[in-house]
Structure 1
């Protein structure tokens, strides 16, 4: 046993040593804190299509090819291959979505039956929600509602498949508003708004407008809610027939996306995705996964990028459409945070695969987890047999009409533009429209919008043009009309072909010639304007033929709305096919009607 005096001495020494060590700054190293545990999350996969345009059969020519990740050009698209790739890419975490223009401007196999076959196919492969595109309004708002709800076509009745049962997916569009009214339309998908407290919903509608379509949709996967906001290009009123959208207004996308985000917030949905039918142009020949978007001609960001960078920071991801391009970009939201923005080409040639994680507790998307792969729908895998049978059924149904010869060619007629903006096919269509409207409508010239020409007419294999091929060129069933413009108004109309943000040269009939000086300022580029070789008198009146889309001010040719003495004639397709029948074999017309100075 240690003597107490010694023990006391040892304790005192130890205390002194401790005090000395403390005074000298020497301390025991603290243990590092444990890193926080990552918040638990669940996986979600989105598979997205945009701008399908009813391409049930594999699209041909350049419309059926894509540049892949390695720079190779490969054949792509076709419903049976879309279905096959969808099956390969689908897992238990998958939600399938789309960004509009699924219908409209479609091949005859779909258009002959008001696109019911395409909508049925998309529902069958599991698309659950889509934003509307401008082409969803090609036959008007009333027809879009029929496609959504079901019922036979009011003029043509039921298709060979029977009475239409309605789309299996919801169309959404937060910026498609009713100009008048107090009540929400009774449409599929609108019921989600009934889950919001009425007083709060009414307040939001007073602030943002009365929706004509469901603005949002909510889907659940792995116990987590994912919200989708729909929007369509603000230019829709200028690129669809005005009568079809009477009573509607198309609000700014950024403001309406905020509306959709607030609606989702009211429902407690934090994971938010914008499906917007608006996009950018890209550099040619790039990988579909590259961020190859380009600025507009005036140097400003593209319309899609503007939206992607400006919409509410609560929105985590933007999937786009409309420009038919493929890209994957990272942009900054208004709060300075990264978010992904992408598009997947067109015509069923690309499926955008989006993989992400949603935090279990907060319901937020972990933006660092978001990955996008634009998978090209190649045709080097076995096609889906069920879809092949489905497509063949509709092909057989339309064959009698599609295969009917309507004329013949001596050489290819294409949409390829010369430096002046003319094309052999466009000029021929203008000539056909003049021939169809001159006698009864008194037309002296005809003008055709290039965006209304949807396919080339190749000579191969035998020069014969079928009704199906002619329909592919002009699928809109626009009405031919003739109006009166003064010479000054005609000049003003042609000046509208060039603006700081676009060039849209109208294809002229052979009776119209002029000089375009592209180095002159906008609004002062047209000169030497002649009709049948006679100079146009600014004060005189002239009869001008065009389709009802243009006459209504479409493609931003607002001068047409100043016209008088409207006359309506045949459908544009009938004008085209009748011209082919009467003048076959037709040859490519000269492309010298516009002289560049």
Structure 2
């Protein structure tokens, strides 16, 4: 279970980013509600789990959260309470999705979020997973086949009714692949105010997606781009600027989504370098939930910084108040709203709605839409591919720890390429998208598809021991954050107290000491093989063989006719002195 501790979440409000001032001669302040979210990842169906929340009385209760039909209802409920409102997102709404969405190229998610009223989305790195051309199709519609999967399987695809923004996606001619800004006006006459929106993806998007799909596109610095675009928006008459950016931070505690104590990560550096013209940052990417009054850190930049976690389990409800005479922002408030539905049936049994938090009825139209695609996906999703003795878990919070599922995937990929001489396999933690619950001991195609939805081919690379050592050393020296690769056929220790380049200790391949001058065959997925996740060292290997899809390799591992046990940890040992 995920635990999120929230003190009186339903009533939580953050204020103080700008002190309220008396209204001007035109009367009461004009307030605009911004309903924000991020990292939806095609989570159309209510997850078969609940999240733990701390209620106002201090007790911890289980709350069924998520699901597109309840999400749409929650959005509409918030908007119904405001005379002026807009719905925005900070990226990764599609891809890395469950089968019910991914099997159909995420077309059902685009339509569901359009039905929910989304207006503006800053494209995230995962939205480029299938390439820039396919992302353009999600915006504009149509049934052109641009990937291995057939589009428009159930109905013609009209495209998103919301606008994708990505002002730092720079093409070879210097123009941006997607627009960088949008303007929205609220109120009328002398009381009209205008908000400018900036949309950006993380500048590291190129590290996270297949280079072939973004050929000729570079990703500019977020703060530099935002400062330029904010000035342009102000020149066009924007009274406030809201930045939607698919980059985020890590609060010291992940169980307090209404706070941001000890916030670290790229969003902190971005905020430090932003122009004071930016009033609100809606962030994402890290899957953490937080609300920050950045003015406490830097009074010269009294901006509001938010993130709503992931998978549609919560929304951030933001209110901006304006003096209609001066057009200045006079107050900023935010609260997190849990998307609680009718209940779920989890592996631990049924979870009913909690009276401690508001519940939302399912939106009928969105529910019917999701049900149609779920019915179409069900025959494939329910097909049993094997059996497991226990749940096989990934680590959802620490990319520097082994996980049983990560090791199992590496094992499956090594087995699938043994015929090509593979001796080692390496799997990236970002490619492991969900745990396998193995309910009733069964593992279904839907389970493994949710784990590996990207459709990467396996590659066998020939590398010297010295080159393989450099790959392992890069785990601790990447500029975009550390990440432990899950190994098969390989074991070693590491000591982070040693100098860079000398941290890998006693690596063993096939039970024998790895030699720098020996040649090894190493299996990776095509994403990693192209330098994905910042592993530029993997590009040094010589491609010697291709392989099956990563998903097919995982299915073959479960189809061997034996009950699969979660692999034991310990292939990688941290021996850093404490």
What's the counterpart of residue 312 of structure 2?
Answer: 348
Q: Does 1:513 align with 2:496?
A: no
Instruction: Look up the match of 2:184.
Output: 219
Q: Distance in 2 between matches of 1:500 and 1:544?
A: 20
- Once the two structures are TM-superposed, the CA of residue 39 in structure 1 deviates from its matched residue by 6.1
Q: Is the 8 A contact 2:49 2:64 kept in 1?
A: no
Q: How big is each residue's C-alpha offset from its partner over 1:490-539, in whole Å with a ceiling of 9 and x where there is no partner?
A: 01110111138743111111x21222223323321112112112222212
**Aligned ranges for residues 542-557 of structure 1 at < 5 Å?**
542-557=520-535
Residue in 2 aligned with 1:376?
338
1:369-518 aligned within 5 A: 369-379=331-341, 380=353, 381=359, 382-416=361-395, 421-439=401-419, 441-460=420-439, 462-499=440-477, 502-509=481-488, 511-518=489-496
SS in 1 for 2:278: coil
Return 574-583 or 272-281, whichever deviates more.
Answer: 574-583
Aligned to 1:83: 72
CA displacement, residues 429-475 of structure 1 (integer Å, 9 cap, x when unaligned): 11100111121x32111000111111111232x11111001111111
**How far does residue 97 in structure 1 lie from its aligned partner after superposition?**
0.7
- The question of whether the paired residues in 2 share the 8 Å contact of 1:406 and 1:581 is answered with yes
Within-5 A mapping of 1:19-34: none
Q: Distance in 2 between matches of 1:361 and 1:161?
A: 51
**Do 1:65 and 1:349's aligned partners in 2 also have CA atoms closer than 8 Å?**
no
Secondary structure of the 1:446 match is strand
Change beyond 3 A, Cα 1:426–1:445: same
1:42 equivalent among 20, 24, 30 = 30
1:236 maps to 2:205: yes
User: What is the deviation of 1:36?
Assistant: 9.4
Q: State the match for 1:309 in structure 2.
A: 272
Cα drift, residue 397 of structure 1: 0.8
Q: CA deviation at 1:334?
A: 7.7
Give the deviation of 1:398 after TM superposition: 0.6
**In the alignment, is the contact (CA less than 8 A) between 1:67 and 1:286 conserved in 2?**
no
Contact 1:67–1:287 under 8 Å retained in 2: no
Asked if the contact 2:388–2:442 (Cα under 8 Å) also holds between the matched residues in 1, the reply is yes
Q: Is the 8 A contact 2:308 2:315 kept in 1?
A: yes
Is the aligned partner of 1:269 residue 2:238?
yes
Superposition CA RMSD, Å: 2.3
Q: Secondary structure at the match of 1:503?
A: coil
Task: Name the residue aligned to 2:346.
Answer: none
> Does residue 339 in structure 1 map to residue 303 in structure 2?
yes
The worse-fitting range, judged by mean Cα deviation, of 465-474 and 155-164 is: 155-164
What's the TM-score once normalised by structure 2's chain length?
Answer: 0.86
Q: Is the 8 A contact 1:44 1:94 kept in 2?
A: yes
Q: Pick one of 163, 170, 186 that aligns with 1:170.
A: 163
State how far apart, in whole Å, the 2-side matches of 1:325 and 1:36 are. 36
Q: Is the 8 A contact 2:251 2:261 kept in 1?
A: yes
Cα offsets for 1:199-258 (capped at 9, x unmatched): xxxxxxxxxx42111111112221332210001111211111221111110000011102
Secondary structure at the aligned position of 2:564 is classed as: coil
Aligned pair in 2 of structure 1 residues 36, 327: CA closer, same or farther (>3 Å)?
Answer: closer
Equivalence map 1:141-180=2 (5 Å): 141-154=132-145, 155-178=148-171, 180=172
1:399–1:161 CA distance, 2 compared to 1 (3 A): same
After TM superposition, what 4+ stretches of structure 1 lie above 6 angstroms from structure 2? 417-420
State how 1:282-301 maps to structure 2 within 5 Å: 282-284=251-253, 286-295=255-264
Asked if the contact 1:433/1:572 (under 8 Å) is kept, the reply is yes
Give the Å deviation of 1:104: 1.0
Does 1 or 2 have the higher relative contact order (CA < 8 Å, sep 6+)?
2
CA shift for structure 1 position 287: 3.3
Separation in structure 2 between the aligned mates of residue 344 and residue 252 of structure 1, nearest angstrom: 23
Q: What's the CA shift string for 1:518-574, capped at 9, x where partnerless?
A: 332332111211211222221221111011111111112111111113432211111
The residue aligned with 1:7 is none
Correspondence for 2:222: 253
* DSSP-derived class of the 2:110 partner: helix
Q: Distance in 2 between matches of 1:552 and 1:52?
A: 26
Query: Out of 500, 503, 509, which is 1:522 matched to?
Result: 500
Matched, 1:574 2:552: yes
In 2: Cα distance, 1:283 partner to 1:515 partner: 27
**Using the alignment, how far apart are the partners of 1:562 and 1:582 within structure 2?**
34
> Following the alignment from structure 1 to structure 2, what is the Cα–Cα distance between the partners of residues 76 and 490?
43
Quick one: structure 1 residues 387 and 163, their matched pair in 2 at CA, closer, same or farther if it must change by over 3 Å? Answer: closer
Q: CA separation of 1:70/1:45 partners in 2, compared to 1, >3 Å: closer, same or farther?
A: farther
Distance (whole Å) between structure 2 residues aligned to residue 255 and residue 351 of structure 1? 28
Distance 1:68 1:350, change over 3 A: farther
Q: Which segment drifts farther, 320-329 or 277-286?
A: 277-286
How far residue 383 of structure 1 moved from its aligned partner, in angstroms, is 2.2
Q: Who wins on radius of gyration, i.e. which is larger?
A: 1
Specify the alignment match of 1:200 in structure 2.
Answer: none
8 Å Cα contact 2:139/2:160 also seen in 1 = yes
Decide whether the 8 Å contact of 2:137 with 2:159 is kept in 1.
Answer: yes
Which one of the candidate residues 82, 88, 93 is aligned to 1:102?
93
Structure 1 CA distance for aligned equivalents of residues 277 and 544 of structure 2:
49
Whole-angstrom distance in 2 between the partners of 1:428 and 1:231: 35
Q: CA deviation at 1:156?
A: 4.0
Whether contact under 8 Å (2:473, 2:501) holds in the other structure is yes
SS in 1 for 2:304: strand
Q: 1 or 2, which has the higher helix percentage?
A: 1
Task: Identify if the C-alpha distance between structure 1 residues 160 and 67 changes in structure 2 by more than 3 Å, giving closer, same or farther.
Answer: farther
Q: How far off its partner does 1:70 sit?
A: 6.3
Query: Larger deviation: 259-268 or 273-282?
Result: 259-268
Gaps (5+ residues) in structure 2? Answer: 1-21, 342-352, 354-358
Does the CA contact (< 8 Å) of 2:115 and 2:366 recur in 1? no
Q: 1:490 to 1:66 in 2, by over 3 A?
A: farther
